[in-house]
Amino acid sequence: MNHTNKIICIGEAMIELSLSTDSSLSLGFAGDTLNTAIYLKRLMGKDAEVAYCTTLGNDPLSPKLTDFIESESISTAPIRYSLDKTVGLYAISTDSSGERTFSYWRSDSAARTLFNETGSPDFSRLEDFNTIYFSAITLAILPANVRTAFLDELDAIRRNKNTTIVFDSNYRPALWESEAVARETVARAWRITDIALPSVDDEIALFGDKNESAVLERLQQYGINNGALKRGETGPLSLNSNSGADPKTRYPAAIQVLDTTAAGDSFNGGYLSAALAGKSDSESLMSGHNCASMVVGFRGAIVPKDDWSARSKPDT
């Protein structure tokens, strides 16, 4: 891959408050698509230009969030700012096994005006990119009319410009008007997706599939033939039946699990960093798994730069 590969990740970036088991509190920045953008850029380095697209607020923390994104060598040019709203916030508490519980303050966040900051949907900031990454959370926070227009725009860009569309069905029931709306919207997104990054748990929760095989069958019906089905510690499964990836591959367990926050997001970053660089599906799957295995060994969504650099980068 050359340096002209330009990737835009779209969604909601938030303030992260992390409460550890000793009751200490730390402040950070995260969000599902932002987490993926950061790990993607860290792994690809100069081999890709990565930009982040969201709407932030008129508050003291929004500029600090912008600075944080830029500190990861990610372009903030597509970010817009609301004059009368604030950035969203969430808190995480984790138990002794690393499982996390979330509390959110995001119902009226600035990100909910994304693409509609002036009262009329505007997607012009997407035009200069050849890969577009978003999630079901991106869709869930948009008003229904903007959501529909956004999917229409992606469909047109994909057909007219041969842009690669990457989607993760990160299902959060509380963000949707109803399960039926979520199901219809996510199904439509799958039909315009080139690289699919679903998790088996989310798909079963939303669509009521009986098992993993039923999930795979339904995804194939959408026309999906590229990407990975995330299965947690079991390891990923290729969605490309002709990839040559062995479905019986044994994936190494994480050295330690302190916090499973961003496990799926970091997998996406690792997988895409390899896939967009032209590596094999087997290599991409292992890259995603290794990245996630490293990230769950740290608290919070983003591994500090010093710790990231101190360990060998997740790779095949």
The residues spanned by each domain of the chain are 6-310
The 3-state DSSP class for residue 132 equals strand
The residue type at 185: T
**Mean pLDDT of the chain, nearest integer:** 91
- Asked if pLDDT for residue 3 goes beyond 70, the answer is no
Least trusted range by pLDDT, from 121-130, 232-241, 254-263: 254-263
CA distance 302 to 304: 6
pLDDT mean over 233-247: 83
Residues 6 or more apart from 124 whose CB is under 8 A from it? none
The residue type at 190: W
CA distance 294 to 314: 7
Q: pTM, whole model, 2 decimals? A: 0.92
Residues of the chain above pLDDT 70, percent:
93
Distances 189 to 16, 67, 118 between C-alpha atoms, Å = 28, 31, 25
pLDDT at 314: 45
Taking only the tens place, the pLDDT of each residue in 75-134 is 999 999 999 999 999 887 767 665 668 888 999 999 999 999 988 999 999 999 999 999
* Other C-beta atoms lying within 10 Å of the C-beta of residue 59: 16
The 3-state DSSP class for residue 7 equals strand
pLDDT band (50, 70, 90) for residue 239: very high
Largest distance between two CA atoms of the chain: 54
pLDDT at 102: 81
Residues 6 or more apart from 71 whose CB is under 8 A from it? none
Taking only the tens place, the pLDDT of each residue in 10-38 is 999 999 887 766 777 888 999 999 999 99
pLDDT at 315: 47
pLDDT at 301: 82
Phi then psi for residue 131, to 5 deg, are -135, 130
Q: Which residues pair with 92 in a beta bridge?
A: 18, 102
pLDDT band (50, 70, 90) for residue 42: very high
pLDDT band (50, 70, 90) for residue 1: very low
CATH number assigned to the domain covering 6-310? 3.40.1190.20
CA distance 16 to 70: 17
- Asked if pLDDT for residue 316 goes beyond 50, the answer is no
CA distance 111 to 104: 14
Nearest by Cα to 254 from 228, 229, 284, 232: 232
Residues of the chain above pLDDT 90, percent:
73
- Cα-Cα-Cα-Cα torsion 212, 300, 77, 42, nearest 10 degrees, comes to -80
Taking only the tens place, the pLDDT of each residue in 148-195 is 999 999 999 999 999 999 999 999 999 999 999 999 999 999 999 999
By annotation, the residues acting in catalysis are 265
